Amino acid sequence: MEELVSEGFIKVYKNIYLYNENLYGVSEAAFKGWFKKVLINTCINWFRKKYPPITESYTELEIVQKSDGSESPLENISYKEILQSIKDLSPAYRTVFNLFVIDGMSHEEIADQLGISIGTSKSNLFKAKENLKKILQKKMDITKYA
């Protein structure tokens, strides 16, 4: 974490000429806001480098049949279809969903990472799950008649 703060300070120092007083303002609070934005973006960029997004290069999930030989509709959905469904979520929902479900971060960690409130993180996760259910349901209905 200290490396990220140091990297952020270096970015601010090297790019101080980019701080536009006409755009942001001359006040100390305006500069702090710009500085905070640089630090947050530095952290997000580090996170994206360390945990790149999931690509479609993964193989499909094996379809496991139940012992009685019947299949549930979810067993007919491939891994690629699930990944594509996650990609179909809005960026805000997808980001929180990936951080919580895939990366195992807590809502507190997500809120700190993204600069949002814990409540917003929880809300976005709930909405992401609901939207993902709808997307997958729609795909199951389409494949049922294909």
Enclosing domain of residue 104: 54-146
Q: What would the two tokens of residue 36 be?
A: 């905070």
CATH number at residue 64: 1.10.10.10
Q: What are phi and psi of 58, to 5 degrees?
A: -75, 150
Q: Are residues 134 and 63 in the same domain?
A: yes
The C-alpha atoms of residue 21 and residue 133 are separated, in whole angstroms, by 46
SS3 82: helix
Is the pTM above the cut of 0.75? no
Q: Are residues 79 and 108 in the same domain?
A: yes
pLDDT of residue 36: 83
Higher pLDDT, 91 or 28: 91
Q: Are residues 68 and 131 in the same domain?
A: yes
Q: Does the structure show a pLDDT above 60 at 130? A: yes
Higher pLDDT, 67 or 123: 123
Q: Are residues 87 and 132 in the same domain?
A: yes
Amino acid at 61: L
The count of structural domains within the chain is: 2
Average pLDDT of every residue of the chain: 76
Q: Which pLDDT tens digit goes with each residue over 6-38?
A: 888 888 888 887 777 766 667 777 778 878 888
Q: H helices of the chain, where?
A: 2-14, 21-24, 28-50, 79-87, 91-97, 107-114, 118-145
Q: Are residues 34 and 105 in the same domain?
A: no
Q: Are residues 75 and 3 in the same domain?
A: no
